[in-house]
Chains A and B, each alone.
Chain A
């Protein structure tokens, strides 16, 4: 078993990059931007996480998955703390996370200051339209490409 100081926070961050989001497993919790801080508090490792949407049922699963992953690495005492402010934004998604979403067929979120429709993740055309503002999970909307006619999920800017 490992305690304070033996493992650097940088190492923990690297391990967390392998913990997938339970609902969109192509992206890790780190690339999603919800892990805000990793720090030792005495013998206890504290991982601070911010929720995506207030009611997202994945939040509890994510806390459990992070704890399980770190215990699997031999860290005995892990505490997951929730931080509400500043509120999570999709602008915190990493470039790697955005690319992984696109390859998976989910259009990554546009930056908040842009209001342009997302390009189609299949054919790249910018000629897309929103079918419904709410999709299969709280973070997604349903869109359709007018060029290749494929429907797709859009990770909503938030």
Chain B
């Protein structure tokens, strides 16, 4: 695969992890119960560690002397390549868990598929991350079932979150030129859609939730076209480096 496409692809992987990690971190100290507060921030920590690995590798591929910190803290919203799904606000707990489930159900087969990538660094990072993400999916799936098949109120909220976040799932599976060029290396993004759909359908059936009907899908996150929500998130995440450029401790 061509170097610029590989750089773009690693940015996408790293930015997904970084932005979702930051969103989950917003729950720190505000979880509904102590166990959930710990779980949300543990998942955030795993994703942050994975983001460091992907962004570190992206920086190496780019070869322009940038490092993982510069990629994380010195890019503006238009340069971020994360999915629109992960920048969506936390909302209520139903929104947080459905967002996590849609992402985890895609993240796991994606990392498994990267096991056949031609770049050994991609394979190694994926093999490390996949073990952590298996636990993430187990948890988000349990919550989707528990809250979906819970009380009338929790079911109503879960269905609302599932419907509202659905249009952000399309770009996960639609390959563009970057991912298409990875096809040469034995990786097929659209093939990840098969286990993803299976996971969503079987889990929603257990959760007594309706899988939303096919419809208009939002696009653009992977190419750098984001909602204003990402800018607000970055304003907080990047504050220190913007206020005190080059600050270290």
Q: Measured between alpha carbons, how far is A134 from B27 in the docked complex, in Å? A: 15
Interface footprint category on A: 20 to 34
- Alpha-carbon distance between A89 and B43 when the two chains are bound, in angstroms: 18
Known: A84-B53, A84-B124. A142 touches B35 (CB 8 A): yes
Task: Please indicate the chain B residues that have their CB under 8 angstroms from the CB of A115 in the complex.
Answer: none
B residues lining the A interface (CB < 8 Å):
35-36, 38-39, 42-43, 45-50, 52-53, 120, 123-125, 127-129, 131-132, 135, 138-139
New A-B pairs, 9, CB < 8 Å, besides A54-B50, A55-B49, A85-B124: A51-B49, A51-B128, A54-B49, A54-B128, A55-B45, A84-B128, A132-B38, A134-B35, A134-B139
Whether B53 lies near A54 (C-beta < 8 A) is yes
Chain A 77-101, CB within 8 Å of chain B: the 1/0 string?
0000000111111000000000000
Tell me which of B125, B129, B131 has the highest count of chain A C-beta atoms within 10 A of its own C-beta: B131
Name the residue among B38, B42, B132 with the largest chain A CB count within 10 angstroms: B42
Q: Tell me whether B131 and A131 are in contact (CB under 8 A).
A: no
The interface residues of chain A lying within 8 Å CB-to-CB of B43 are 134
Offer 17 A-B interface pairs, CB within 8 angstroms, sorted by A: A53-B49, A54-B52, A54-B53, A54-B129, A55-B46, A84-B125, A85-B120, A85-B124, A89-B131, A132-B35, A132-B38, A133-B39, A134-B38, A135-B38, A136-B38, A138-B45, A158-B131
Q: Does A61 contact B (CB under 8 A)?
A: no
Decide: A56 and B49 in contact? CB cutoff 8 A. Answer: yes
Closest 5 CB pairs of A and B: A55-B49, A54-B49, A134-B39, A55-B45, A132-B35
**Partner pick for A85 among B39, B47, B50, B128, CB 8 A cutoff:** B128
A102 CB within 8 Å of chain B: no
By a CB distance below 8 angstroms, the chain A residues around B129 are 54
